[in-house]
Structure 1
């Protein structure tokens, strides 16, 4: 697997929290358009791509226009790009409400309707709608840069982890509601959703999956880091080795957690993300009957372009036999 140099940003939740909270709200504006797209298993259609400079929606293709929304966190702006032109607006706004008004005005100039819903999702402390969120906001470019650097480090590892999986695996990206970066592996096994949860959460639990991701933390758990879980949750997770020093099973949260400082202390954090994910999938194989042969050898594209099929098959046999 190719190695890439990646910066190692120190993350302090208290420093990042105001910017994380603001960005979480404004990316929902563009993110809402993803709800018009065909539903993918586990809401794979809604994720925002991590770009070199921020977050971006997928391309939306409508009968009369195509467009994309890019949140340029390093540039402090948002660009709506369409086949009719481009409009840019600043992320420096007095409030989420004023940002929403400016966004809708810019979208209208390109023939793009506002999102179908102005509701703010999955943020318990938030007002009901974008128009009602008039709390004063300031823009912190240093915090935005730390966020982008952390996302790119974690994404590099999660994309490498996902690459050899043969089953359904949506794009690695940021869920704009809960605001976590996630990589999810699915298999076609129907499961029973947790009763009493909102419809969107129950629809995410219709099939078995393994999820590995990254979060900046929350007010109740202000600790940035990697996390993982297996749905449905099997027994025996408390006795597993999670591959990376500092990674532990948290039964109260129902998560395997790898604190960000522990990840940065490893010689190669990107490789450690892969190792962490592999350990979680191994637990799913051993404890929940997941298929071990759904993961191919992890090699780069140049290797595969030059290597005879027989050698690739030999590598796969050795991997399955533990050689």
Structure 2
């Protein structure tokens, strides 16, 4: 029997300043992985991953010396570890983004790791270089721990959902640029060439996909929520039923996204079953309308 989810409350207003600081911390570490990890298909090499204590880059090849950077959201530290045993750690509490940036690159330098990144925020409403950002410095350890508890448990459900699918799938990973946990399934068919967008977008959506994710709220969506979308979007996907009853189709600039609030899942009688039902219904909606071979992709577990 799988343990029930115990999701903590995550009202955005209560931790938004901490969330912004943490987001920028993750962007710095994510950009280090982006610059050093060998390129993978669909930009999978840029992501971070939930760990048993926080969030990690996992192993990053660096010549003959692999390294890893890990956030610990229990003791609230960051540790850089080399495969030969070298290690540097520092506490996260009280650091501005500028302090964090200096501490990370100081640790890397002491371990003989030389990395150069584009040291400015990505896709954020502010552009202050990391090394100069002394404004973002709020770090409430209890709020970060609550976020990680939610992230870890949701990642486990995403992993369970991933195991139902026999086709190509991404890992369950955390995108540091947008601060969302995501999982994507592929039909195996090429998609029509994307018009506009970045090179990364065009590669990410070079094949038919159905994506699923969770984010903790942002400037536009003022609460934590789950989502799913199909790309390219098939006609009529928004007419398909979703579960549970609280799930809706949102019109996002002409495309449609299945949407379910975190609170609806958290307060349901069985959050795990509720979340799995949402993910499955969103998949069935997209796959059915897009003509995917659903039966061939189904793994009976």
Category of TM-score, reference length = shorter chain: over 0.9
Matches within 5 A, 1:52-71: 52-71=52-71
Q: Is the 8 A contact 1:22 1:96 kept in 2?
A: yes
C-alpha RMSD of matched pairs (Å) = 1.8
Verify the 8 A CA contact 1:68 1:80 in the aligned structure 2: yes
Which runs of 5 or more residues in structure 1 are unaligned? 300-323
- Tell which deviates more after alignment, 274-283 or 263-272: 263-272
Q: What is the distance in 2 between the residues matched to 1:136 and 1:55? A: 20
1:285 paired residue number: 287
Shift in CA distance, 21/252, structure 1 to aligned 2, threshold 3 Å: same
Deviation at 1:165, TM superposition (A): 1.4
Deviation at 1:216, TM superposition (A): 0.6
Contact 1:126 1:133 in 2 (8 A): no
Determine whether 1:294 maps to 2:293. no
Which residues of 2 match residues 16-31 of structure 1 at below 5 A?
16-31=15-30
After TM superposition, the score normalised by the length of structure 2 is 0.92
User: Deviation at 1:221?
Assistant: 1.4
CA distance in 1 between partners of 2:123 and 2:188 (Å) = 27
> Within the alignment, does 1:116 sit opposite 2:117 as a pair?
yes
Q: Which residue does the alignment assign to 2:270?
A: 268
Partner of 1:255: 257
Q: What is the CA–CA distance in structure 2 between the aligned matches of 1:90 and 1:111, rounded to whole Å?
A: 21
Kindly state the Cα deviation for residue 201 of structure 1 after the two structures are TM-superposed: 2.1
Q: 1:271 to 1:41 in 2, by over 3 A?
A: farther
The alpha carbon displacement at 1:290 in A equals 1.3
**Distance (Å, rounded) in 1 between the aligned partners of 2:287 and 2:219:** 34
Structure 1 CA distance, aligned partners of 2:6 and 2:81?
29
Q: Distance in 2 between matches of 1:291 and 1:43?
A: 26
Distance apart, 1:194 and its partner CA: 4.2
Conserved? CA contact 1:31–1:48, under 8 Å: yes
- Name the counterpart of 1:228: 228
How far 1:67 sits from its partner (Å)?
A: 0.6
Report the equivalent of 1:311: none
Secondary structure at 1:271 match in 2? helix
Deviation sequence 1:152-206 (CA, Å, 0-9, x none): 2211211111012122212102101111000111233222354332322222111
User: What CA distance in whole angstroms lies between the structure 2 residues aligned with 1:275 and 1:211?
Assistant: 15
3-state SS of 1:158 partner: helix
Paired with 1:21 and 1:250, the residues of 2 have a C-alpha distance of: 25
What does residue 243 of structure 1 align with?
A: 243
In 1, Cα distance between equivalents of 2:191 and 2:288: 19
| Residues 134-283 of structure 1 aligned to structure 2 (within 5 Å) | 134-252=134-252, 254-283=256-285
Deviation at 1:258, TM superposition (A): 0.6
Kept in 1: contact 2:22–2:139 (CA 8 A):
no
Q: Which residue does 1:5 correspond to in 2?
A: 4
2:87 corresponds to which residue? 86
**Matches of 1:204 and 1:93 in 2, distance apart?**
37
Instruction: Kindly state the Cα deviation for residue 92 of structure 1 after the two structures are TM-superposed.
Output: 2.2
Distance 1:26 1:150, change over 3 A: same
